[in-house]
């Protein structure tokens, strides 16, 4: 406990045996026969029968403003990490769903919470939709690579409510909208189409971009994603045909933070700062070593980044959520989530109980915006109480 808070950080560990037959071919997770997950419970001494669970596919969230602000309000917050914490190189979204299911079961059966509210912040938003859709009516038995991960027999427990905060459509759809379409040769990122190379001073197309150029740019982004997907599928098939011990392979995807929106604020407008993205200067992030999806395995690309194949696409799963109340909170100056993403989720949601809230001026992390963070917390608490999810 610190002087600034009335709650403590309590380490949580969940260990479970995974029933899936898919072999972890890349290293640590599960190689001892168990999946080991780590997390933190942010809670004070006051008991509660409700827990708010945050999970991101790869990030750990216990130091971010939103979970801590919720804990400051007196509720219990569980920041649950997946097996891929801080390393999405080999991430399989279907296995992240199994991990989230293990946390929810642990929260109910071991920690004793009667109600679980799933909070999907940022990249956790599409994960929350994916999980809840499969918990309500499971359909998936294999990953996009064809490996068996059977969610229909996993016994996933539906959350009692889902909250979607500053969240994008999905990793696959967002990656595609940020792929640099000028790259012509994946093995040589210097081989680029100048007409699509919007960060080059020699590019003939300048902001404000024409509708025709934007359409061409988006088509080229989708085409590049599909070329990488096809190459990953072909290599997996080749490795399988060889019949040897090599069953997986890593690769690099260059230049993954290129979007006309960063340079032209009139495209998909919100209150974001022009020439900026949530990771900094987009031209620098585009080529940096920690760029989005920079390193991946063949299977991981198909599961989390493939535009046409990923099972975690947001609108796809929103349309399958029919029984659960959903709250969407949109940060109107978000410098990570495009303005068009949340309306697409809202329109796709099948549940009749859906609430849509916009917070003017709020950025992705609420940096220097304590009053807007407090507004977000108040919306979460009010919504939860009116649905008897929090007493």
As a whole-number percent, the residues of the chain with pLDDT over 70 amount to: 95
Sketch the domain layout of the chain as residue ranges: 8-170+310-386, 174-305
All residues at 6 or more sequence positions from 79 whose CB lies less than 8 Å from its CB, including other chains: 39, 40, 41, 42, 54, 55, 60, 61, 62, 67
As a whole-number percent, the residues of the chain with pLDDT over 90 amount to: 91
Strands 76-80 and 35-43: antiparallel
Whole-number Å distance between alpha carbons of 334 and 258: 17
For residue 3, pLDDT over 50 is answered with no
Query: Taking the CA atoms of the chain, what radius of gyration do you get in angstroms?
Result: 21
All residues at 6 or more sequence positions from 239 whose CB lies less than 8 Å from its CB, including other chains: 246, 247, 248, 249
Reported confidence tier of residue 2, pLDDT bands at 50, 70, 90: very low
Which CATH superfamily is 8-170+310-386 part of?
Alpha/Beta hydrolase fold, catalytic domain (3.40.50.1820)
CA 50 from chain center: how many Å? 24
Rounded alpha-carbon distances, angstroms, from residue 256 to 204, 251, 363: 21, 14, 21
Q: What is the mean pLDDT of residues 191-198?
A: 98
For residue 4, pLDDT over 80 is answered with no
For residue 112, pLDDT over 80 is answered with yes
Look at residues 71, 65, 11, 63 and name the one whose alpha carbon lies nearest to residue 46.
Answer: 71
User: At which residue do the structure tokens 């919720």 appear?
Assistant: 70
Segment 32-70, tens digit of pLDDT: 678 999 999 999 999 999 999 999 999 999 999 999 999
């Amino acid at each position: 406990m610190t002087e600034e808070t009335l709650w403590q950080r309590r380490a949580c560990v969940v260990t479970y045996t995974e029933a899936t037959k898919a072999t972890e071919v890349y290293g640590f997770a599960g190689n001892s026969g168990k999946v080991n997950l780590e997390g933190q419970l942010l809670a004070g001494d006051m008991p509660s029968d409700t827990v708010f669970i945050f999970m991101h596919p790869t990030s750990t969230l216990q130091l971010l403003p939103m979970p801590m602000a919720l804990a400051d309000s007196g509720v219990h917050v569980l920041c649950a990490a997946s097996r891929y914490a801080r390393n999405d190189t080999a991430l399989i979204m279907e296995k992240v769903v199994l991990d989230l299911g293990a946390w929810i079961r642990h929260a109910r059966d071991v920690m004793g919470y009667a109600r679980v509210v799933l909070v999907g912040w940022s990249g956790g938003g599409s994960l929350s939709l994916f999980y809840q859709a499969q918990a309500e009516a499971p359909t998936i038995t294999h990953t996009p690579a064809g490996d068996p991960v059977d969610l229909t027999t996993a016994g996933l427990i539906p959350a009692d409510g889902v909250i979607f905060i500053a969240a994008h459509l999905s990793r696959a759809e967002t990656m595609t909208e940020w792929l640099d379409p000028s790259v012509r040769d994946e093995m040589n990122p210097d081989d680029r189409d100048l007409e699509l190379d919007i960060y080059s001073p020699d590019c003939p197309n300048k902001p404000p971009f024409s509708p025709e150029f934007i359409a061409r740019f988006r088509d080229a982004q989708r085409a590049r994603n599909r070329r990488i997907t096809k190459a990953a599928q072909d290599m997996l098939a080749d490795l399988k045909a060889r019949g040897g011990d090599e069953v997986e392979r890593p690769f690099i995807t260059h230049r993954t933070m290129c979007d006309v929106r960063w340079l032209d604020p009139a495209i998909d407008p919100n209150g974001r700062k022009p020439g900026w993205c949530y990771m900094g200067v987009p031209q620098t992030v585009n080529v940096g070593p920690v760029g989005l999806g920079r390193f991946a395995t063949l299977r991981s690309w198909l599961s989390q980044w493939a535009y046409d194949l990923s099972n975690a696409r947001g609108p796809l799963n929103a349309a399958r959520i029919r029984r659960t109340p959903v709250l969407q909170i949109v940060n109107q100056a978000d410098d990570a989530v495009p303005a068009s993403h949340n309306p697409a989720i809202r329109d796709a949601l099948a549940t009749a109980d859906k609430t849509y809230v916009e917070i003017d001026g709020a950025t992705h992390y609420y940096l220097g915006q304590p009053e807007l963070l407090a507004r977000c917390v108040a919306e979460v608490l009010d919504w939860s109480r009116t649905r008897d999810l929090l007493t």
